[in-house]
Structure 1
Amino acid sequence: MNTVFIADDELIIRQGLKCIIDWESLGFSIIGEASNGIDALDYIVREQPDLVLMDIRMPGLLGVDVVKNARDKGFEGHFIILSGFTDFKYAQSAIRYGVDFYLTKPIDEDELLEAVQALKDTIEEQSRQTGTWQHYRQKAHGMILLDILTGKADLDRINIEDLHMEADEYQVVIYEKYSHNATQMSYRFADLLKVTNEMNSSYEQITIDDNEILLLKGEFTLHKFQQFLEHYEREQKPQKDSPLDSLFITYGRPVKDLQEVHTSYQEALRLLQRRFFCEHRQHTIGYDQLPKQDEENRFELTPEVLQFYCETLIGYIQAAKRNQMAEMLHELETKLYSCDEDIPRIKLFLTDLYLSIKEKIFHLYHNADIAFPSNAEIIEFINEKYYLYEIVLFFTEQFEMIIRAIGNPSSESVMDDIIHYIEHNYMDNIKLENIAPLFGYNSSYLGKIFTKKVGEGFNVFVDKIRIEHSKELLEGSSLKVYEIAEKVGYRNVDYFHTKFKKYVNQSPAEYRKQMRKSE
Structure 2
Amino acid sequence: MKLQVMLVDDEQYVRKGLLGLIDWESLGYCVSHEADNGKDALRIITSRPSEVDVVITDIRMPVMDGLKLIEEVKLRNLSSCKFIILSGYNDFSYAQSAIRFGVSDYILKPIEEEDLEETLRQLALQIKQERLQKAISGRLTLKGLFEQLSRGELAAKAVMELDERVRLSKGTVLRYGIVEMNRGLSEESDVTDYLIKDDVSVVADALQTLIDVPSDFVVQLRNHQCAFLISSDALKLYGGSYERFGSALQTLLAKRLTAGVTLYFGTSVKEMKALSESIQTANELLQYKYVKGMKDVLFYETASKTKLSYAEPEVSLFHRIQEAVEEQETEKIKTTIATLFAEIETKSLAKDAIRTIINRYVHRIVGTLQGMQGPIDLLVNLKPMLSWDAQPLSFSQLQHLFISFMIESSRMMEQLRGEQTKGSIHKIKSYIERHYQENINLKSIAAEFYMNPVYVGQLFKKTYGQYFNEFLLSIRIGEAKKLLRQTDLRIYEIAEKVGFNNADYFVAQFEKMEDMPPSEYRKKLLTKQGGHSHENTTIPTK
Q: TM-score range by the shorter chain?
A: 0.3 to 0.5
**TM-score calculated relative to the size of structure 2:** 0.34
